[in-house]
Structure 1
């Protein structure tokens, strides 16, 4: 019995079936073709036309690539559909675990007065804006109703360190519950570090708490973006960072930045600041249309057309750093590349479908209100309660997570059935953000042609694919970023 079939058995000139795929123009000459699992192929217009017209020959590289990417199947193939279904199913493997991230807003008080702040912050002495133990206990109960075997608790504010007594109380209760229920537990405090004392940092070390900090760039830019009494925001940050790394651990302190109009011409300086302070990457994050960012008109201070050159210049600079042997990542690109180059979904809320609101992350506010996302809570601070799911002292777990507010938003924004998204080749890399769409367009779907969410992501997707298609060295760098995730 022959071990291998003769080459003639694999001839399939014109005799192949198309599997589900979408295509979108990449540039003036090429198209991106993607299957439902996110595997992609770039083709010229003529090759794309020949593909859909069943004119490809089996000895052509394009034919072999299309077959490898599960865009076509030939007579006798037994595995393409099963493999395609398996890869697509892998992308949704997070759904049964439901809500992993639980955000507790323990206070709205803050010692900074950032003009772009996404929260309607309160001054340090207004303790009426602190979470009570009663609300904390009910929030913990809600958190542990999640079926997820791994739970993540993130303390936000305001400045959570202004209510650190409650943080201690919550940490010790959730640790006990997690141990009793055999749950994995990760705890994060989002803080500016300006109030991080020796005692607080030692507590974080002893309880394996991660610190998520805020750094906008060099001293003058950081102080301008994040003002506080004494005009020493950057000085306090650097001092707090050094002490936090010494006590809590070097790799247990991360940083986030926000791009303001003052940042747009300084992307290399911002990246250099992160490098000088020993960070291994940066998230070049735009402003969000919530909270004080809107009230102070900071959100209108630059357009997407201004931010994209900033982002792309930063990405190019980071790639050049890597070429020179300096390991450094742009975190948003890393998340997108995971979706482009693997069958795994990194679980980043803004790039999830169904939307991550509620089913990936939920917010328990200081006053007991439960919101579908951090952005939903920010909208509520502006008076828009559209995405308030309930109250921890008044509503049951079932009432909160089976509410029409959440389920309708998830269903209506599901990209595989939303006009324009369902036909878009970039859909497997993107996500649904009903809260953003509501904030900007007044409904959870939004107007795709005029949506900055769509235009921003599509521009980034195109740039990343173009780089990988034209620059093998940069593609190898990107693959290294994905491997390190």
Structure 2
């Protein structure tokens, strides 16, 4: 029979030795509060005095923070060391998706487009320029690479240009992918990215028959959307709205999604943009910034607003969405939800910008119309500006091993482990952040970048602080954010 422990073992006023597990901390705000995080991103907000005591190993078991630190795997003591095993399990859970490798495969089936968006991140061709369509041979060789991926789930996304201008090739790819999958036995899914302006009954019937999802662009109310996305007839918004309704009627309400891009014209209209998504009965919105590639640079659209101005836009929108939820609207901000998934759960997100090592090649890969393979959609956009740094090879001359194990991909991936990067390794936000070598190469000429000068870093850190302060200030917001984290 095991003996009961002596009464002194339960005396919480007595000091006991503890061992700190890996952790980091950083200032949260100007109110003497700090954020402490462990290896997997579990966090606590503590005051300066408590942080100091813990770091000096002077925190008494009777201190209210002691049990919280112990429960979140910041320390182990003589009472139990199970936290080491639990922490290791959570680290394995976070990193497990890396073994699946590439799940998203983007086919650029044409560069033709009838829109002339000034912020477009890729070069585009006129409707009659068929030489900018992907060929049958290129499509089939690209599919060879798709099915070499070890991922149990494969998603093929069709992009352009306007992808529906090459509908015959989309049909071929879907038919051939499904034929190959009879042997491969993967979880196969398809998405068509389209502005909906040329959507017809043939395309809708095909998407319905093959269970294809539709993703479109919606930048906000009519005046803003038409300015951001001009086309002949100046009716891009009406065509998008009509297309959304038609597609929902055939494919189902939740099989049609939309994304917006923030231009300088958007910055004072965040509530109107969100209201437009609500009016059209979308369940959420992704308030994303404009990327520094393609025509966004050539037309100076990217330089038209600073990261600080975008953050003002973002948090105004986030607070508005929180207020809508208080009024009973079930509406989510997807950027926050993906960050919160990393902050509040042991799970990883597949969003490329929030992955470490970087998501290029690992989370997504792009097969261009001419057979060139790029590490990400952003890599293709960079190439359209004349920079082929992240071009991995070509399906007509290179094997899967040449493309996926070549220096063009492995070198930036090796440098993108945020835990070993100067400026990141000591940052408390590192478990929640990601690495974006394409962005840093485009803006600083280096895949790692100088973190104090990085718009990516300052934007991300401001986002993390903003989410934490809102959770700390309001239990209802915390409950809302916890719900979002499980839906991302």
Q: What TM-score bracket applies, with the shorter chain setting the length?
A: over 0.9
- Residues 1:8 and 2:12 aligned together: no
Cα drift, residue 76 of structure 1: 4.4
1:268-287 aligned within 5 A: 268-287=271-290
1:233 and 1:361 map into 2 onto residues whose CA distance is 29
In the other structure, the counterpart of 1:21 is 23
Q: Say whether the 8 Å CA contact 1:191–1:211 is kept in structure 2.
A: yes
Aligned to 1:121: 124
Distance 1:53 1:129, change over 3 A: same
**In the TM superposition, what whole-angstrom CA distance separates every residue of 1:141-187 from its partner, at most 9, and x where no partner exists?**
00000011110111111010000000000011111112221110111
C-alpha deviation, 1:216, in angstroms: 0.2
CA distance in 1, matches of 2:68, 2:180: 51
Q: Which residue of 2 aligns with 1:372?
A: 375
Matched, 1:150 2:146: no
The aligned residue for residue 162 of structure 1 is 165
Distance 2:72 2:179 in 1: 47
Residue 219 of structure 2, aligned match among 216, 219, 230 = 216
Match of 1:402 among 377, 402, 405: 405
Deviations 1:345-401 (A, max 9, x none): 021111001100011111000000001110001101111000000000100000000
The answer to whether the 8 Å contact 1:14/1:55 transfers is no
**Normalising by the residue count of structure 1, what TM-score does the alignment of the two structures yield?**
0.98
**Is 2:478 the partner of 1:475?**
yes
Shift of 1:7: 5.8
The 8 Å contact of residues 104 and 363 in structure 1, kept in 2 or not, is answered as yes
- Counterpart position of 2:301: 298
Asked if 2 retains the 8 angstrom alpha-carbon contact of 1:14 and 1:56, the reply is no
Match of 1:49 among 49, 52, 63: 52
Shift of 1:8: 3.3
What TM-score, normalized by structure 2, do the two folds share? Answer: 0.98
CA contact 2:337–2:487 (8 Å) conserved in 1: no
State the 1:59 CA deviation. Answer: 2.0
Unaligned runs of 5+ in 1: none
The answer to whether the aligner puts 1:336 opposite 2:339 as a matched pair is yes
Range 472-481 or range 212-221, more displaced: 472-481
* 1:431 corresponds to 2:434: yes
Per-residue CA deviations over 1:28-85 (Å, capped at 9, x if unaligned) read 2111000011100111000000111111111221000110111111024231111111
Task: Measure, in 1, the Cα distance between the counterparts of 2:200 and 2:6.
Answer: 74
Gap regions ≥5 residues in structure 2: none
Do structure 1's residue 388 and structure 2's residue 391 form an aligned pair?
A: yes
Which deviates the most, 61-70 or 10-19? Answer: 10-19
How many residue pairs are counted as aligned between the two chains?
A: 485
* Structure 2: distance between partners of 1:107 and 1:4: 74
- Aligned Cα RMSD in Å? 1.2
Please state if 1:246 is matched with 2:213.
no
Given that 2:16 and 2:77 are in contact with CA atoms closer than 8 Å, whether structure 1 keeps it comes out as no
- Within the candidate set 50, 53, 59, 2:62 is matched to 59
In 2: Cα distance, 1:109 partner to 1:3 partner: 79
SS at match of 1:344: coil
